[in-house]
Chain A
Amino acid sequence: SQTIHQWPATLVQPVGSPLSLECTVEGTSNPNLYWYRQAAGRGLQLLFYSVGIGQISSEVPQNLSASRPQDRQFILSSKKLLLSDSGFYLCAYSLLGIRNQPQHFGDGTRLSIL
């Protein structure tokens, strides 16, 4: 069976500092991978998704970037964090077709910007 891991669970960063959140999936190969952000009072917003190594689709222009250096590793980064980057970040994966398979989520990272 597949498992998904996200870390860290919580993170407090000052404005202007860099960011790196990591997500890995075990028990499968070539998963589709996703980064979401959930801000207070707002719905779940898709930030990036990837269907393969080095393939990144960006859904929302922002201060963030994503990379997929290995098949089962998805990284969310920023060079300089803004206050508006605060939120709950969730990584997810799905198998096979991108639109007809369930997505499974990690436990999330709570990011607070000071």
Chain B
Amino acid sequence: KQEVTQIPAALSVPEGENLVLNCSFTDSAIYNLQWFRQDPGKGLTSLLLIQSSQREQTSGRLNASLDKSSGRSTLYIAASQPGDSATYLCAVPGNTPLVFGKGTRLSVIA
């Protein structure tokens, strides 16, 4: 059974810092891995999807990497801004179409 873990559960950083969010999964036989952002009281916004054949994907200040063999992914946010404050979730296909981690709640302090 696929399980997804995200560490840390919460993170607070000053504006301008570069930061890394971690995601690990137990079954490395995945098709892809997806990162989402969720603002309070809102739905999820898809940020990046990395196919199993890829090692990383970039979108603006975001860079996601995937290491299937070790069951890990990282989301790198460069030059963080207060607008980046949100909960970040990763998800992989498993027994169900997507298995989600519980997320990392990020606060960027101005």
Contact = CB atoms under 8 A, between A and B. Distances in A.
Chief secondary structure at chain A's binding surface: strand
A66 to B, nearest CB: 14
A98 B43 contact: no
Interface residues of A, number: 24
A99 B46 contact: no
Contacts of A74: none
Contacts, number: 55
Contact of A49 (B51, B91, B97): B97
Contacts of B36: 105
B1 interface: no
A18 interface: no
Nearest 6 interchain pairs by C-beta: A105-B43, A99-B93, A44-B100, A105-B44, A43-B102, A102-B49
